[in-house]
A = this chain, B = another copy of it.
Amino acid sequence: MRPKVGHIQFLNCLPLYYGLVKSYALLDIELIKGTPTELNNLLISGGLDISPISSIEYARHHESLVLFPDFTVSSDGEVKSILMLSRFPIEELSGKKVALTSTSATSHVLLKLILSRGYGVEPEYFICLPDLNRLFENADAALLIGDMALKYSVDAKDFYLYDLGMEWKKLTGKKMVYAVWAVNRRFAETRSELSEYVFDILKKSMVYSMEHLSEIAEYAAKWEPFSFFFLKEYFKSLRFDFGKDYQDGLLYFYRLATEIGELKTVPEPEFINFHSGVKT
């Protein structure tokens, strides 16, 4: 059976998808597309062998997962596609209703951290579907992610707009890791070679896509409601690194998450070892 690999169906992962198509990788992996929440659930339940997973969900389920080195979905400051839209200035949100969209996980915790630690604000949170027409029926502010957020980053009339990557940088001075790539631990142990094979496929696709961002922006502009110029700038601003700075930002995020009760303990990131399957 081909390995079952998750793929975030947002524009931020389109460059990676482009690389996968151009390398014919889709012949050798079963790519399953979804929102971050869908992929989180599939990876944790064993419906996927390998997938991007929300950083906070990796921490909550790290016993059954090991990490791929090198890849994350991250930002160093502005992220553009994780936003809070608000009818009120952020400082005035205490006691107000804030909607968290059901498609994301890390950004729920991130928003809570920013509001409580950055602004001393404690609103009332509730989770709902990412349907913009209904979102503000019952909410004073709403967390938006993905392509829907991206649209608002260009054109957010009637709302105060806060970029959560930028707010995190302001609060901590650190980089922010929204998602990591993880392997089901049993798959990593029993199918070590296949795990490495998928890693190589992803690595090659990532390198290819970084070298062809203009071409990808041109292609994407054919289908997406954004201009070539906007897409090119957006793709260039994305970060997929997992270097020391990013690991540092991730652990700091985990530490703060434990302090507000969103995480029990800070896990030690555990990377796959392609010879034995697991490396600590």
A interface residues, Cβ below 8 angstroms from B: 1-2, 18, 21-22, 24, 26-28, 219, 222-223
How far, in angstroms, from A219 to B21 measured CA to CA in the complex?
17
A24 near B27: Cβ-Cβ < 8 Å: no
Nearest chain B CB to A198 CB, angstrom units: 13
**Distance, CA A26 to CA B223, complexed state (A):** 13
From the candidates B1, B24, B222, B223, name the one contacting A22 in the complex (CB within 8 A): B24
This chain: how many copies in the complex?
A: 2
Residues of B within 8 A of A1 (CB): 223
Give, as a whole number of angstroms, the nearest-CB distance from A253 to chain B. Answer: 33
Q: List 12 A-B contacts (CB under 8 A).
A: A1-B223, A2-B223, A18-B27, A21-B21, A21-B24, A21-B26, A21-B27, A22-B24, A26-B26, A27-B219, A28-B222, A28-B223
CA distance A1 to B21 in the complex (A): 18
In the assembly, what is the distance between CA of A1 and CA of B225, in Å? 9
Smallest beta-carbon distance A234→chain B, Å = 18
Query: Which residues in B have their C-beta under 8 angstroms from that of A2?
Result: 223
A196 to chain B minimum Cβ distance, whole angstroms, is 16
